[in-house]
Amino acid sequence: MKRLSLFLLGLYALFPLTDFLLRRVLGLGGLAGLWDKGLLALLFVLAWLQADRERLRRLRPLAAPLGLFFALGVLHLGIDLPNFAATFDGFRAVYFYMLALFVGAWLPKTRDDVERIMAVLAGLGALAGAVGLAQVALGVRTPAGWTDVTEATSRRAFSFVVSPNVLGSYMAYALLLTLALAWRARAEGRRRALLAYLLFAALEAAALVLSGSRGAWLAFFLAALVVLFFFRPRLSLAAAAALIALAALLPPIRRRMEALLSPMYWEKSARDGRIARWLGSFHQMRFDPLFGRGIGHYGGATGNRFFGTTYVDGYYFKTMAEMGLPGLILFVWLMVAVFRTLFARWQAARGRPEGALLLGLLAADLAVALHNAVENILEVPFMNAYFWLAAGLALALSPGRPEEGRG
């Protein structure tokens, strides 16, 4: 059962590519939306069957915020019964992919199992990056709506995830995982693996730049610096200086950041852009601070499909608009609990082989969480699943006892 479980988990880790092939290449449409849900449900069942007492204890630090946030979601199912279909779809979009947390925490048995899944994620990230680079090199036009009126360029990499901003978040996530794997391969003297991971990292970094996603750039920058500060404090200052210099020298980054600082951008943003949408979500919450507009009713894919609402461009603002202040508070509490738990496990594992892997998983999720401040990244099914899977994989790594040195 272990081999079958890990094989299926590795297959699930190919989520964005499989989904693209089924939807865009084979044209299966709605049927393509069932495979990932069925596979994740099957993996959860397999994980539950293998969840002994020790594995169940791994999730104890998250039990209270996870349980209360889930309970609030269930309560929302009964708030607007005439629009139950929209509420249920919104509930599914928020909660279903959290099953990946349990799958990641319970299925892998060893550090090698976790590392293999991380390697699949890193390899697919490199492939996505290569496709994005090819698009820019071949002059493939970016889908309409992904360039600012202040910019002349219309080329941004979007790979097989369709959205440049999602690609940016995906590349930040994959790059941080890949760098952790490279560090581990270097420490163990696995030269071929190190060279492969460095190649993966180069493709992901280039695609991150060419995605043109300012939010993803800043999220990667901050996540990398936070992690480096704890991992190698002296190195963090040098890395910050290097990244800032690189941003100033690379034309794609410099142009996008200059556009961000232009008065025209802020005027447009306040009129019908991010700022206007954030204020709109705040006003939605003001009408009903306890329950908001209702889960699935505003600011995301479900709200757009059922009620014609626009995207909020900020997952935390969307949560506040749909679930009120209690929803926002519980969700932020859950995020804080995730990172506190992962950080504590890394501290316990410093100096051990799993230390670098834990830090990579922590950094990858931190980049996604930061990017959610300005994008609805967790609205994207594969990014939602990847976030919770990384958290689960980190919980699966046994911290053991600290040893001399650093992981």
Does residue 185 carry a pLDDT above 80? Answer: yes
309, 299 in Cβ contact below 8 A?
A: yes
Tokens of 126: 């490199």
Instruction: Output the pLDDT for position 30.
Output: 65
SS3 letters across 232-278: CHHHHHHHHHHHHHHHHHCHHHHHHHHHHCCHHHHHHHHHHCHHHHH
Among candidate residues 399, 294, 367, the one with its CA nearest the CA of residue 81? 294
153 has a pLDDT exceeding 60: no
- Rounded-to-integer distance, Cα 238 and Cα 225, Å: 10
Average pLDDT over residues 34-59: 92
Confidence of residue 353 (pLDDT cuts 50, 70, 90): confident
Per-residue pLDDT averaged across 69-76, rounded? 97
Mean pLDDT of 103-112: 94
Confidence of residue 402 (pLDDT cuts 50, 70, 90): very low
Taking residues 339-355, what's their average pLDDT? Answer: 90
Looking at the chain, the whole-number percentage of residues with pLDDT higher than 70 is 93
Q: Cα separation of 195 and 263, whole Å? A: 44
**What's residue 271's pLDDT?**
84
The whole-chain average pLDDT of the chain stands at 90
Band the pLDDT of 401: cuts 50, 70, 90.
Answer: very low
**pLDDT score recorded for residue 120:** 97
Over residues 66-77, mean pLDDT = 97
Q: What is the pTM of this model?
A: 0.93
Residue 116: pLDDT band (50, 70, 90) is very high
Q: Which two tokens stand for residue 139?
A: 């002059």
Q: State mean pLDDT over 351-363.
A: 91
* Residues 393 and 118 sit within 8 Å (Cβ to Cβ): yes
DSSP classification of residue 374: T
Please report which confidence band the pLDDT of residue 186 belongs to, taking 50, 70 and 90 as the band edges. Answer: very high
Neighbours of 28 (CB within 10 A): 14
Q: Average pLDDT, stretch 95-114?
A: 95
What average pLDDT does the segment 261-278 reach?
A: 86
Percent of the chain predicted with pLDDT > 90: 71
At residue 261, does pLDDT exceed 80? no
- In the structure encoding, which two tokens stand for residue 267, read together? 């005027």
242-246, 279-283, 362-366: least confident range: 242-246
Looking at per-residue confidence, does 106 or 253 come out higher? Answer: 106
Cα 117–92–282 angle (5° rounding)? 110
Q: If you average pLDDT over residues 277-287, what whole number do you get?
A: 94
